[in-house]
Protein backbone atom coordinates (compact mmCIF):
# COMPACT_ATOMS: atom_id res chain seq x y z
CA UNK A 1 0.00 0.00 0.00
CA UNK A 2 1.45 3.41 -0.96
CA UNK A 3 2.43 5.74 1.87
CA UNK A 4 1.43 9.40 1.60
CA UNK A 5 4.34 11.83 1.72
CA UNK A 6 2.58 13.78 4.46
CA UNK A 7 3.10 10.74 6.74
CA UNK A 8 6.88 10.99 6.35
CA UNK A 9 8.84 13.77 8.12
CA UNK A 10 11.71 14.01 5.61
CA UNK A 11 9.94 16.17 3.03
CA UNK A 12 9.86 19.95 2.75
CA UNK A 13 6.72 22.04 2.68
CA UNK A 14 7.43 23.01 -0.93
CA UNK A 15 7.65 19.40 -2.06
CA UNK A 16 4.45 18.45 -0.21
CA UNK A 17 2.60 21.33 -1.85
CA UNK A 18 4.06 20.39 -5.23
CA UNK A 19 2.55 16.93 -4.80
CA UNK A 20 -0.72 17.83 -3.09
CA UNK A 21 -1.46 21.53 -3.79
CA UNK A 22 0.22 22.45 -7.07
CA UNK A 23 -1.95 25.56 -7.49
CA UNK A 24 -0.07 27.14 -4.58
CA UNK A 25 3.13 26.94 -6.66
CA UNK A 26 1.96 27.31 -10.25
CA UNK A 27 3.48 30.80 -10.59
CA UNK A 28 6.94 29.25 -10.27
CA UNK A 29 6.60 26.50 -12.89
CA UNK A 30 5.66 26.61 -16.54
CA UNK A 31 3.55 23.43 -16.53
CA UNK A 32 1.46 21.26 -14.22
CA UNK A 33 3.02 17.80 -14.45
CA UNK A 34 -0.34 16.13 -13.71
CA UNK A 35 -2.10 17.62 -16.74
CA UNK A 36 -1.69 15.93 -20.11
CA UNK A 37 -2.74 19.20 -21.74
CA UNK A 38 0.21 21.00 -20.17
CA UNK A 39 2.59 18.24 -21.26
CA UNK A 40 1.24 18.45 -24.81
CA UNK A 41 1.66 22.25 -24.76
CA UNK A 42 5.31 21.78 -23.78
CA UNK A 43 5.82 19.21 -26.56
CA UNK A 44 4.37 21.49 -29.22
CA UNK A 45 6.35 24.52 -28.03
CA UNK A 46 9.56 22.49 -27.93
CA UNK A 47 8.88 21.28 -31.46
CA UNK A 48 8.73 24.89 -32.63
CA UNK A 49 11.80 26.12 -30.76
CA UNK A 50 14.28 23.22 -30.96
CA UNK A 51 16.89 23.54 -32.38
CA UNK A 52 15.90 26.81 -34.09
CA UNK A 53 18.65 29.40 -34.16
CA UNK A 54 21.30 27.11 -32.69
CA UNK A 55 24.75 26.32 -33.98
CA UNK A 56 24.02 22.60 -34.32
CA UNK A 57 21.43 20.14 -35.58
CA UNK A 58 19.85 17.02 -34.11
CA UNK A 59 22.14 14.77 -36.11
CA UNK A 60 25.17 16.50 -34.53
CA UNK A 61 23.96 15.59 -31.04
CA UNK A 62 23.04 12.08 -32.14
CA UNK A 63 26.48 11.45 -33.65
CA UNK A 64 28.08 12.38 -30.32
CA UNK A 65 25.61 10.26 -28.35
CA UNK A 66 26.32 7.26 -30.56
CA UNK A 67 30.03 7.62 -29.97
CA UNK A 68 29.66 8.09 -26.20
CA UNK A 69 27.24 5.21 -25.67
CA UNK A 70 29.53 2.79 -27.44
CA UNK A 71 32.12 3.45 -24.72
CA UNK A 72 29.37 3.15 -22.08
CA UNK A 73 28.50 -0.36 -23.38
CA UNK A 74 24.88 0.60 -24.00
CA UNK A 75 22.50 -1.89 -25.58
CA UNK A 76 20.69 -2.06 -28.91
CA UNK A 77 17.60 -0.26 -27.64
CA UNK A 78 19.71 2.71 -26.62
CA UNK A 79 21.14 3.07 -30.13
CA UNK A 80 17.65 2.64 -31.55
CA UNK A 81 16.49 5.52 -29.36
CA UNK A 82 19.44 7.67 -30.45
CA UNK A 83 18.35 7.08 -34.04
CA UNK A 84 14.80 8.12 -33.09
CA UNK A 85 16.13 11.29 -31.46
CA UNK A 86 17.37 12.37 -34.87
CA UNK A 87 13.74 12.92 -35.90
CA UNK A 88 12.06 16.30 -35.31
CA UNK A 89 9.08 14.47 -33.79
CA UNK A 90 11.15 12.83 -31.00
CA UNK A 91 11.69 14.41 -27.60
CA UNK A 92 13.72 13.65 -24.51
CA UNK A 93 12.68 12.75 -20.99
CA UNK A 94 15.75 13.65 -18.97
CA UNK A 95 17.19 13.01 -15.55
CA UNK A 96 20.70 13.39 -14.20
CA UNK A 97 22.95 12.86 -11.23
CA UNK A 98 26.45 13.29 -9.85
CA UNK A 99 28.79 10.40 -10.58
CA UNK A 100 28.45 8.67 -7.21
CA UNK A 101 30.54 5.52 -6.75
CA UNK A 102 28.52 2.48 -7.79
CA UNK A 103 25.74 5.01 -8.68
CA UNK A 104 25.75 6.49 -5.15
CA UNK A 105 22.55 6.39 -3.04
CA UNK A 106 20.03 4.06 -4.63
CA UNK A 107 17.54 6.80 -5.54
CA UNK A 108 19.81 7.30 -8.58
CA UNK A 109 18.48 3.98 -9.88
CA UNK A 110 14.93 5.21 -9.25
CA UNK A 111 15.55 8.33 -11.35
CA UNK A 112 16.80 6.24 -14.27
CA UNK A 113 13.87 3.82 -13.97
CA UNK A 114 11.34 6.66 -13.83
CA UNK A 115 12.86 8.28 -16.91
CA UNK A 116 12.36 5.05 -18.84
CA UNK A 117 8.84 4.65 -17.44
CA UNK A 118 7.72 8.18 -18.26
CA UNK A 119 9.06 7.90 -21.80
CA UNK A 120 6.94 4.77 -22.25
CA UNK A 121 3.85 6.50 -20.79
CA UNK A 122 4.23 9.49 -23.09
CA UNK A 123 4.71 7.21 -26.09
CA UNK A 124 1.34 5.65 -25.24
CA UNK A 125 -0.45 8.97 -24.64
CA UNK A 126 0.89 11.03 -27.53
CA UNK A 127 1.07 8.74 -30.53
CA UNK A 128 2.07 11.49 -32.96
CA UNK A 129 5.40 11.89 -31.17
CA UNK A 130 8.23 9.73 -29.83
CA UNK A 131 9.96 10.02 -26.46
CA UNK A 132 13.32 8.64 -25.36
CA UNK A 133 14.95 8.52 -21.88
CA UNK A 134 18.22 10.42 -21.38
CA UNK A 135 20.55 10.40 -18.35
CA UNK A 136 22.76 13.49 -17.92
CA UNK A 137 26.10 12.49 -16.38
CA UNK A 138 27.18 15.36 -14.13
CA UNK A 139 30.82 14.86 -15.09
CA UNK A 140 32.00 18.43 -14.43
CA UNK A 141 30.95 18.43 -10.78
CA UNK A 142 34.04 18.68 -8.56
CA UNK A 143 32.63 17.81 -5.15
CA UNK A 144 34.52 14.52 -5.01
CA UNK A 145 34.14 13.93 -1.22
CA UNK A 146 30.38 13.92 -1.75
CA UNK A 147 30.47 11.11 -4.30
CA UNK A 148 33.55 9.03 -3.41
CA UNK A 149 31.86 6.90 -0.73
CA UNK A 150 28.98 4.51 -0.16
CA UNK A 151 26.95 3.36 2.85
CA UNK A 152 25.93 -0.19 3.68
CA UNK A 153 24.69 -2.24 6.63
CA UNK A 154 27.59 -4.34 7.87
CA UNK A 155 27.59 -7.92 9.13
CA UNK A 156 27.36 -6.40 12.63
CA UNK A 157 24.12 -4.60 11.66
CA UNK A 158 25.74 -1.18 11.77
CA UNK A 159 25.90 1.52 9.12
CA UNK A 160 29.33 1.47 7.54
CA UNK A 161 30.80 4.06 5.20
CA UNK A 162 33.52 3.06 2.72
CA UNK A 163 35.47 5.61 0.69
CA UNK A 164 37.80 5.62 -2.30
CA UNK A 165 40.64 8.12 -2.63
CA UNK A 166 43.13 8.45 -5.44
CA UNK A 167 46.49 7.07 -4.27
CA UNK A 168 44.70 5.94 -1.11
CA UNK A 169 45.02 9.36 0.53
CA UNK A 170 42.52 12.14 1.14
CA UNK A 171 43.64 15.59 -0.01
CA UNK A 172 42.68 18.98 1.36
CA UNK A 173 40.84 20.35 -1.70
CA UNK A 174 39.11 18.74 -4.65
CA UNK A 175 38.74 21.02 -7.66
CA UNK A 176 39.22 18.56 -10.51
CA UNK A 177 36.02 17.68 -12.45
CA UNK A 178 35.01 14.29 -11.07
CA UNK A 179 34.31 12.77 -14.47
CA UNK A 180 37.97 13.16 -15.38
CA UNK A 181 39.26 11.23 -12.37
CA UNK A 182 40.83 7.99 -13.55
CA UNK A 183 40.58 5.10 -11.12
CA UNK A 184 43.88 3.79 -9.83
CA UNK A 185 44.82 0.53 -8.08
CA UNK A 186 43.17 1.68 -4.84
CA UNK A 187 39.74 1.10 -6.38
CA UNK A 188 40.45 -2.62 -5.83
CA UNK A 189 40.92 -1.99 -2.10
CA UNK A 190 37.59 -0.16 -2.04
CA UNK A 191 35.77 -3.01 -3.80
CA UNK A 192 37.42 -5.67 -1.63
CA UNK A 193 36.49 -3.80 1.56
CA UNK A 194 32.91 -3.39 0.37
CA UNK A 195 32.54 -7.07 -0.50
CA UNK A 196 34.23 -8.14 2.74
CA UNK A 197 31.76 -6.08 4.78
CA UNK A 198 28.82 -8.11 3.48
CA UNK A 199 27.75 -11.69 4.02
CA UNK A 200 28.66 -13.83 1.02
CA UNK A 201 25.54 -15.02 -0.83
CA UNK A 202 24.68 -16.90 -3.99
CA UNK A 203 24.56 -13.49 -5.74
CA UNK A 204 27.86 -12.06 -4.49
CA UNK A 205 30.03 -13.36 -7.32
CA UNK A 206 27.74 -12.00 -10.06
CA UNK A 207 27.13 -8.62 -8.42
CA UNK A 208 30.74 -7.88 -7.57
CA UNK A 209 31.77 -9.20 -10.96
CA UNK A 210 29.72 -6.35 -12.45
CA UNK A 211 31.26 -3.91 -9.97
CA UNK A 212 34.81 -4.92 -10.89
CA UNK A 213 34.07 -4.91 -14.61
CA UNK A 214 32.89 -1.29 -14.46
CA UNK A 215 35.09 0.12 -11.69
CA UNK A 216 38.56 -0.97 -12.66
CA UNK A 217 41.94 0.65 -12.77
CA UNK A 218 42.40 2.94 -15.78
CA UNK A 219 38.68 3.76 -16.21
CA UNK A 220 37.42 7.29 -15.61
CA UNK A 221 34.51 7.85 -13.23
CA UNK A 222 31.93 8.88 -15.82
CA UNK A 223 32.56 5.77 -17.91
CA UNK A 224 32.53 3.49 -14.85
CA UNK A 225 29.24 5.02 -13.70
CA UNK A 226 27.49 4.58 -17.06
CA UNK A 227 28.85 1.07 -17.67
CA UNK A 228 27.74 -0.07 -14.22
CA UNK A 229 24.32 1.52 -14.60
CA UNK A 230 23.85 -0.22 -17.95
CA UNK A 231 24.81 -3.56 -16.41
CA UNK A 232 22.07 -3.16 -13.79
CA UNK A 233 19.21 -1.63 -15.78
CA UNK A 234 19.97 -3.80 -18.80
CA UNK A 235 18.87 -2.76 -22.26
CA UNK A 236 15.86 -0.58 -21.49
CA UNK A 237 16.91 2.06 -23.97
CA UNK A 238 18.28 4.79 -21.73
CA UNK A 239 20.74 7.16 -23.43
CA UNK A 240 23.67 8.48 -21.42
CA UNK A 241 25.09 11.89 -22.25
CA UNK A 242 28.49 13.13 -21.11
CA UNK A 243 28.17 16.94 -21.37
CA UNK A 244 31.86 17.45 -20.54
CA UNK A 245 32.69 16.25 -24.06
CA UNK A 246 34.59 19.07 -25.89
CA UNK A 247 32.27 18.68 -28.90
CA UNK A 248 29.27 19.35 -26.66
CA UNK A 249 30.98 22.29 -24.98
CA UNK A 250 31.49 23.71 -28.49
CA UNK A 251 27.71 23.61 -28.98
CA UNK A 252 27.16 25.37 -25.65
CA UNK A 253 29.26 28.43 -26.51
CA UNK A 254 26.19 30.67 -27.06
CA UNK A 255 24.90 29.83 -23.56
CA UNK A 256 28.26 30.50 -21.93
CA UNK A 257 28.69 33.73 -23.87
CA UNK A 258 25.25 35.00 -22.92
CA UNK A 259 25.86 34.32 -19.22
CA UNK A 260 29.17 36.22 -19.39
CA UNK A 261 27.78 39.14 -21.35
CA UNK A 262 24.54 39.54 -19.41
CA UNK A 263 25.94 39.12 -15.91
CA UNK A 264 24.36 39.64 -13.42
CA UNK A 265 20.93 39.28 -15.09
CA UNK A 266 20.66 35.57 -14.37
CA UNK A 267 21.52 36.18 -10.72
CA UNK A 268 18.94 38.96 -10.47
CA UNK A 269 16.25 36.78 -12.12
CA UNK A 270 16.81 34.02 -9.56
CA UNK A 271 16.84 36.48 -6.64
CA UNK A 272 13.60 38.15 -7.79
CA UNK A 273 11.85 34.78 -8.01
CA UNK A 274 13.35 33.61 -4.73
CA UNK A 275 11.99 36.64 -2.88
CA UNK A 276 8.47 35.54 -3.84
CA UNK A 277 9.18 31.88 -3.15
CA UNK A 278 10.58 32.60 0.30
CA UNK A 279 7.33 34.16 1.46
CA UNK A 280 6.19 30.60 2.13
CA UNK A 281 9.13 28.26 1.46
CA UNK A 282 12.91 27.95 1.70
CA UNK A 283 14.92 28.74 -1.44
CA UNK A 284 17.11 25.82 -2.47
CA UNK A 285 20.00 27.64 -4.20
CA UNK A 286 21.80 30.95 -4.03
CA UNK A 287 22.86 32.29 -7.44
CA UNK A 288 26.25 33.78 -8.23
CA UNK A 289 27.09 36.99 -10.08
CA UNK A 290 28.34 34.74 -12.90
CA UNK A 291 26.88 31.24 -12.90
CA UNK A 292 29.79 29.57 -14.65
CA UNK A 293 32.99 27.76 -13.75
CA UNK A 294 36.28 27.79 -15.62
CA UNK A 295 38.66 24.82 -15.71
CA UNK A 296 42.21 26.08 -15.21
CA UNK A 297 45.17 23.69 -15.13
CA UNK A 298 42.80 20.77 -14.58
CA UNK A 299 40.89 22.36 -11.68
CA UNK A 300 37.43 23.94 -11.75
CA UNK A 301 36.99 27.46 -10.35
CA UNK A 302 33.98 29.75 -10.09
CA UNK A 303 34.19 32.78 -12.38
CA UNK A 304 33.74 36.13 -10.63
CA UNK A 305 33.51 39.66 -12.06
CA UNK A 306 36.01 42.30 -10.96
CA UNK A 307 36.17 46.04 -11.53
CA UNK A 308 37.35 47.21 -14.91
CA UNK A 309 35.81 44.37 -16.95
CA UNK A 310 38.15 41.86 -15.39
CA UNK A 311 37.23 38.28 -14.53
CA UNK A 312 38.83 36.26 -11.72
CA UNK A 313 38.82 32.63 -10.66
CA UNK A 314 37.64 32.28 -7.09
CA UNK A 315 40.26 30.90 -4.67
CA UNK A 316 43.04 31.44 -7.19
CA UNK A 317 45.20 34.31 -8.39
CA UNK A 318 44.21 33.83 -12.00
CA UNK A 319 42.55 36.79 -13.75
CA UNK A 320 41.44 37.54 -17.31
CA UNK A 321 40.44 40.65 -19.15
CA UNK A 322 37.08 40.47 -20.83
CA UNK A 323 38.74 40.18 -24.23
CA UNK A 324 40.98 37.33 -23.03
CA UNK A 325 38.06 35.40 -21.59
CA UNK A 326 35.91 35.74 -24.72
CA UNK A 327 38.85 34.64 -26.85
CA UNK A 328 39.27 31.60 -24.61
CA UNK A 329 35.58 30.79 -24.95
CA UNK A 330 35.94 30.89 -28.71
CA UNK A 331 39.10 28.77 -28.84
CA UNK A 332 38.67 26.49 -25.78
CA UNK A 333 34.99 26.14 -24.83
CA UNK A 334 35.76 22.83 -23.07
CA UNK A 335 37.26 24.89 -20.24
CA UNK A 336 33.89 26.41 -19.37
CA UNK A 337 31.32 24.72 -17.17
CA UNK A 338 27.88 25.39 -15.67
CA UNK A 339 26.78 25.61 -12.06
CA UNK A 340 23.47 24.53 -10.51
CA UNK A 341 21.67 27.53 -12.03
CA UNK A 342 22.92 27.21 -15.60
CA UNK A 343 23.06 23.40 -15.75
CA UNK A 344 19.31 23.03 -16.56
CA UNK A 345 19.63 25.75 -19.20
CA UNK A 346 22.58 23.98 -20.85
CA UNK A 347 20.76 20.66 -20.68
CA UNK A 348 17.60 21.97 -22.33
CA UNK A 349 19.51 24.02 -24.88
CA UNK A 350 21.24 20.83 -26.04
CA UNK A 351 18.32 18.42 -25.83
CA UNK A 352 14.66 18.56 -26.93
CA UNK A 353 13.60 18.09 -23.31
CA UNK A 354 9.89 17.92 -22.52
CA UNK A 355 10.18 16.54 -18.99
CA UNK A 356 12.82 16.39 -16.29
CA UNK A 357 12.61 13.71 -13.58
CA UNK A 358 13.80 15.23 -10.33
CA UNK A 359 13.88 14.63 -6.60
CA UNK A 360 12.56 17.03 -3.94
CA UNK A 361 15.64 19.28 -4.00
CA UNK A 362 15.64 19.55 -7.78
CA UNK A 363 11.94 20.35 -7.86
CA UNK A 364 12.62 23.11 -5.34
CA UNK A 365 15.40 24.76 -7.34
CA UNK A 366 13.57 24.50 -10.66
CA UNK A 367 10.97 26.68 -8.96
CA UNK A 368 13.61 29.42 -8.80
CA UNK A 369 14.55 29.18 -12.50
CA UNK A 370 11.42 30.01 -14.51
CA UNK A 371 12.63 33.52 -15.34
CA UNK A 372 16.12 32.21 -16.12
CA UNK A 373 14.68 30.02 -18.89
CA UNK A 374 12.91 33.06 -20.31
CA UNK A 375 16.11 35.08 -20.15
CA UNK A 376 17.88 32.47 -22.29
CA UNK A 377 14.89 31.98 -24.60
CA UNK A 378 14.61 28.26 -23.80
CA UNK A 379 11.44 26.29 -23.16
CA UNK A 380 11.25 25.15 -19.54
CA UNK A 381 10.40 21.44 -19.28
CA UNK A 382 7.69 19.78 -17.25
CA UNK A 383 9.29 19.11 -13.86
CA UNK A 384 8.23 15.61 -12.88
CA UNK A 385 8.67 14.12 -9.37
CA UNK A 386 10.69 10.92 -9.17
CA UNK A 387 9.41 7.90 -7.29
CA UNK A 388 10.36 7.33 -3.68
CA UNK A 389 10.96 3.79 -2.45
CA UNK A 390 11.81 1.81 0.67
CA UNK A 391 13.00 -1.78 0.25
CA UNK A 392 11.29 -3.62 3.11
CA UNK A 393 13.40 -6.62 4.04
CA UNK A 394 11.92 -9.66 5.77
CA UNK A 395 13.18 -8.77 9.24
CA UNK A 396 11.47 -5.38 8.93
CA UNK A 397 8.29 -6.92 7.56
CA UNK A 398 8.22 -9.53 10.36
CA UNK A 399 8.84 -6.88 13.03
CA UNK A 400 5.93 -4.77 11.78
CA UNK A 401 3.62 -7.78 11.67
CA UNK A 402 4.67 -9.09 15.10
CA UNK A 403 3.91 -5.81 16.86
CA UNK A 404 0.98 -4.87 14.59
CA UNK A 405 2.63 -1.64 13.44
CA UNK A 406 2.12 0.49 10.36
CA UNK A 407 5.22 1.35 8.34
CA UNK A 408 4.74 5.09 8.79
CA UNK A 409 4.79 4.70 12.59
CA UNK A 410 8.53 4.00 12.36
CA UNK A 411 9.28 7.66 11.67
CA UNK A 412 8.34 8.79 15.21
CA UNK A 413 11.07 7.06 17.20
CA UNK A 414 10.01 8.22 20.66
CA UNK A 415 6.36 7.41 20.15
CA UNK A 416 6.96 3.95 18.72
CA UNK A 417 9.48 3.09 21.46
CA UNK A 418 6.95 4.00 24.14
CA UNK A 419 4.22 2.07 22.37
CA UNK A 420 6.30 -1.09 22.00
CA UNK A 421 7.46 -1.15 25.60
CA UNK A 422 3.99 -0.41 26.88
CA UNK A 423 2.52 -3.23 24.80
CA UNK A 424 5.10 -5.66 26.10
CA UNK A 425 4.55 -4.55 29.66
CA UNK A 426 0.82 -4.08 30.02
CA UNK A 427 1.19 -4.96 33.71
CA UNK A 428 2.22 -2.01 35.88
CA UNK A 429 5.04 -3.47 38.00
CA UNK A 430 4.76 -0.93 40.79
CA UNK A 431 0.99 -1.29 40.99
CA UNK A 432 1.19 -5.09 40.94
CA UNK A 433 3.66 -5.46 43.80
CA UNK A 434 2.21 -2.59 45.84
CA UNK A 435 -1.16 -4.32 45.70
CA UNK A 436 0.31 -7.63 46.78
CA UNK A 437 2.07 -5.96 49.72
CA UNK A 438 -1.13 -4.26 50.82
CA UNK A 439 -3.04 -7.53 50.63
CA UNK A 440 -0.30 -9.32 52.60
CA UNK A 441 -0.24 -6.64 55.28
CA UNK A 442 -4.02 -6.77 55.55
CA UNK A 443 -3.97 -10.57 56.02
CA UNK A 444 -1.19 -10.43 58.59
CA UNK A 445 -2.89 -7.60 60.42
CA UNK A 446 -6.13 -9.56 60.69
CA UNK A 447 -4.43 -12.74 61.92
CA UNK A 448 -2.09 -10.82 64.22
CA UNK A 449 -5.08 -9.13 65.84
CA UNK A 450 -6.87 -12.45 66.36
CA UNK A 451 -3.67 -14.19 67.54
CA UNK A 452 -3.02 -11.56 70.21
CA UNK A 453 -6.30 -12.47 71.87
CA UNK A 454 -5.10 -16.04 72.32
CA UNK A 455 -1.34 -15.65 72.85
CA UNK A 456 0.14 -12.13 72.92
CA UNK A 457 3.67 -13.58 73.08
CA UNK A 458 3.30 -14.94 69.52
CA UNK A 459 2.55 -11.57 67.86
CA UNK A 460 6.21 -10.45 67.71
CA UNK A 461 7.20 -13.68 65.98
CA UNK A 462 4.25 -13.33 63.63
CA UNK A 463 5.20 -9.75 62.77
CA UNK A 464 8.74 -10.87 61.98
CA UNK A 465 7.36 -13.54 59.64
CA UNK A 466 5.24 -10.84 58.00
CA UNK A 467 8.38 -8.75 57.28
CA UNK A 468 10.11 -11.76 55.79
CA UNK A 469 7.25 -12.19 53.35
CA UNK A 470 7.44 -8.49 52.46
CA UNK A 471 11.21 -8.81 51.89
CA UNK A 472 10.60 -11.80 49.65
CA UNK A 473 8.12 -9.77 47.63
CA UNK A 474 10.71 -6.99 47.23
CA UNK A 475 13.24 -9.53 45.93
CA UNK A 476 10.66 -10.94 43.54
CA UNK A 477 9.88 -7.41 42.34
CA UNK A 478 13.55 -6.71 41.56
CA UNK A 479 13.87 -9.95 39.61
CA UNK A 480 10.68 -9.14 37.71
CA UNK A 481 11.96 -5.67 36.84
CA UNK A 482 15.29 -7.16 35.72
CA UNK A 483 13.58 -9.66 33.43
CA UNK A 484 11.28 -6.95 32.11
CA UNK A 485 14.29 -4.73 31.40
CA UNK A 486 16.02 -7.52 29.47
CA UNK A 487 12.86 -8.03 27.44
CA UNK A 488 12.73 -4.31 26.73
CA UNK A 489 16.38 -4.38 25.66
CA UNK A 490 15.55 -7.12 23.17
CA UNK A 491 12.68 -5.08 21.76
CA UNK A 492 14.76 -1.90 21.71
CA UNK A 493 17.54 -3.78 19.92
CA UNK A 494 15.11 -5.11 17.33
CA UNK A 495 13.72 -1.61 16.79
CA UNK A 496 17.21 -0.17 16.42
CA UNK A 497 18.03 -2.68 13.68
CA UNK A 498 14.77 -1.89 11.90
CA UNK A 499 15.36 1.86 12.05
CA UNK A 500 18.94 1.47 10.80
CA UNK A 501 17.46 -0.32 7.80
CA UNK A 502 14.51 1.91 6.88
CA UNK A 503 15.26 5.28 8.51
CA UNK A 504 19.06 5.60 8.80
CA UNK A 505 20.30 8.93 10.18
CA UNK A 506 16.60 9.90 10.40
CA UNK A 507 16.27 10.15 6.64
CA UNK A 508 14.94 7.90 3.91
CA UNK A 509 16.74 4.66 3.14
CA UNK A 510 17.00 5.58 -0.57
CA UNK A 511 19.16 8.59 0.28
CA UNK A 512 21.71 6.65 2.35
CA UNK A 513 22.36 3.10 1.14
CA UNK A 514 23.96 1.96 -2.08
CA UNK A 515 21.96 -0.41 -4.27
CA UNK A 516 24.76 -3.00 -4.25
CA UNK A 517 24.03 -3.75 -0.58
CA UNK A 518 20.56 -4.96 -1.60
CA UNK A 519 21.66 -6.64 -4.84
CA UNK A 520 24.12 -8.77 -2.88
CA UNK A 521 21.18 -10.10 -0.83
CA UNK A 522 18.48 -10.37 -3.48
CA UNK A 523 20.25 -10.47 -6.84
CA UNK A 524 20.15 -8.11 -9.81
CA UNK A 525 16.56 -9.17 -10.50
CA UNK A 526 15.69 -6.75 -7.69
CA UNK A 527 16.09 -3.95 -10.26
CA UNK A 528 13.33 -5.50 -12.36
CA UNK A 529 11.19 -5.90 -9.26
CA UNK A 530 11.59 -2.19 -8.50
CA UNK A 531 10.79 -1.38 -12.13
CA UNK A 532 7.64 -3.52 -12.07
CA UNK A 533 6.42 -2.27 -8.70
CA UNK A 534 6.89 1.47 -9.14
CA UNK A 535 4.62 3.74 -11.13
CA UNK A 536 5.97 7.09 -12.26
CA UNK A 537 2.40 8.43 -12.10
CA UNK A 538 1.92 7.30 -8.48
CA UNK A 539 2.92 10.31 -6.39
CA UNK A 540 3.45 8.63 -3.05
CA UNK A 541 6.08 6.55 -1.26
CA UNK A 542 6.27 2.93 -2.43
CA UNK A 543 7.21 -0.11 -0.36
CA UNK A 544 9.09 -2.83 -2.25
CA UNK A 545 9.14 -6.31 -0.70
CA UNK A 546 12.02 -8.46 -2.02
CA UNK A 547 11.54 -12.21 -2.43
CA UNK A 548 10.29 -13.82 0.76
CA UNK A 549 13.25 -16.16 0.70
CA UNK A 550 16.48 -14.10 0.83
CA UNK A 551 19.76 -15.16 -0.65
CA UNK A 552 21.50 -18.13 0.93
CA UNK A 553 24.61 -17.29 2.88
CA UNK A 554 27.60 -19.24 1.65
pLDDT of residue 437: 61
pLDDT for the residue numbered 472: 73
What is the structure's pLDDT at 498?
A: 93
- Tally of residues, the chain: 554
The span from the CA of 529 to the CA of 523, in Å, is 10
Strand order, beta sheet including 336-338: 319-321, 310-313, 299-306, 292-296, 336-338
Q: What's the average pLDDT block by block, 10 residues per block, for the chain (554 residues)?
A: 90 97 97 98 95 89 98 98 97 98 98 98 98 98 95 95 96 92 97 97 97 98 98 97 98 97 96 97 96 97 93 95 97 98 98 98 98 97 98 94 92 80 58 65 62 61 68 64 58 88 95 98 96 96 80 59
Q: Where are the domains of the chain?
A: 1-386+514-554, 394-507
Q: Around 87, how many Cα atoms within 13 Å sit in the side-chain half-sphere?
A: 12
- Supply the pLDDT for residue 447: 59
CA distance linking residue 198 with residue 339, whole number of Å: 37
Instruction: Compute the distance between CA of residue 541 and CA of residue 503 in angstroms, rounded to an integer.
Output: 13
Q: What pTM does this model have?
A: 0.89
The per-residue pLDDT for 549 is 47
Provide the Cα torsion 177, 180, 185, 189; round to 10°.
Answer: 50
| Residues pairing with 3 in the sheet | 541
pLDDT of res. 476 = 61
Amino acid sequence: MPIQYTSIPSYSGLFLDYINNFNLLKQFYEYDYRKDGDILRCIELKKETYPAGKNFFRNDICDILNEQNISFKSGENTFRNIQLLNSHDTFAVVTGQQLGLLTGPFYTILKAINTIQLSAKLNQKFGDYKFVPVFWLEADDHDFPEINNINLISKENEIRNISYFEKGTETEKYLKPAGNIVLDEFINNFTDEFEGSLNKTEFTEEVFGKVREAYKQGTDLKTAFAVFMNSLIKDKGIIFIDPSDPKIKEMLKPVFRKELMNSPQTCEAVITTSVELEKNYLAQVKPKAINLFYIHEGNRYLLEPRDGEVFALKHSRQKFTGEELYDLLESNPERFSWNVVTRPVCQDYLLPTVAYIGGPSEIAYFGQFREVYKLFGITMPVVYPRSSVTIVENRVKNFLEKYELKFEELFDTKKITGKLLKNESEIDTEELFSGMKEELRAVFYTYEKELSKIDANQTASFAKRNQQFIDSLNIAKEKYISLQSKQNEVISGQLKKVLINVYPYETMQERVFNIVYFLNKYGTELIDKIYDNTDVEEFSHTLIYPDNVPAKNI
